[in-house]
Structure 1
């Protein structure tokens, strides 16, 4: 049980009122349950708290970074139900009953996610501040391609690229929502390419969290 969960005493619960699935206390906070990296977490937070702040300040999951805090840099990217989301732009209270995966949840035990391994082997980072968001975005990118999504540079919208036909320009476009001030873009693209080349499709399909 985490410290935030320990705070939820019977006294606190008794003084609140349920509204929908949430419990609002007299202090204006609400008690919510979030499924993060496969574990159910109970939080007592104000409804205005972003998912990013809940992850970092309440749960201590500091892998997701606060860069611009305005949805411009991508450093806070996490996966929600398999889709990449800027966690600084969404409220924690909106994510109940959803699967949230952060950078901390991608590895399986001591085994890194294939994308994490590829970033290491291709120097897909320098200072590392943007790297958690970059990796989460790359994981989502692979899933999106397998689901037939198109991008701004897709030439034939009726024939979306597959993993094996994904071009460098497609990767750059699909990763363009994540900025790297160190300029490690070549390594980032190479990491995505290596993941596609060296990882069996079945493993990619089942690799969002462990």
Structure 2
């Protein structure tokens, strides 16, 4: 391959892979298989090694996020991670209550809380230590994002007190307040990066 051909191919691969990353990480809508992505990334890495003069700072091979991983392993949930359906009327709420009572009887209480839209997450603790953090995915399996979650200050890597079961899961949402999200977007724009949606 000539240097001119390499320059064109490096530019093509960089553009394609950045778009695939955007579709995968921002829109959560992958448009290429993991295998095909990895093959293209390997090709780009090899071309950049052979023709370092064409290395683009925007190349996906140059993006690092400290301890945050760029690709995730898929793992099965210990128990399915289901979601509740929306309710839009009082009758739908009453129907839900009736189904619950038929399924488990009357010995329960409801708890109401604000609904935050974020990333559904399942945290597994063993002997008080965070062992695994997995996204909802399809409810049966999700992405192992443990390394990423360990960087969130509000999620303890080790519980401070005793009395917890040896193994348990906590499920909830990871979200960012609007003001923090806006600050993140402003930083990205100042650094010449695209803002998130």
With normalisation by structure 2, the TM-score equals 0.26
More helix by share: 2
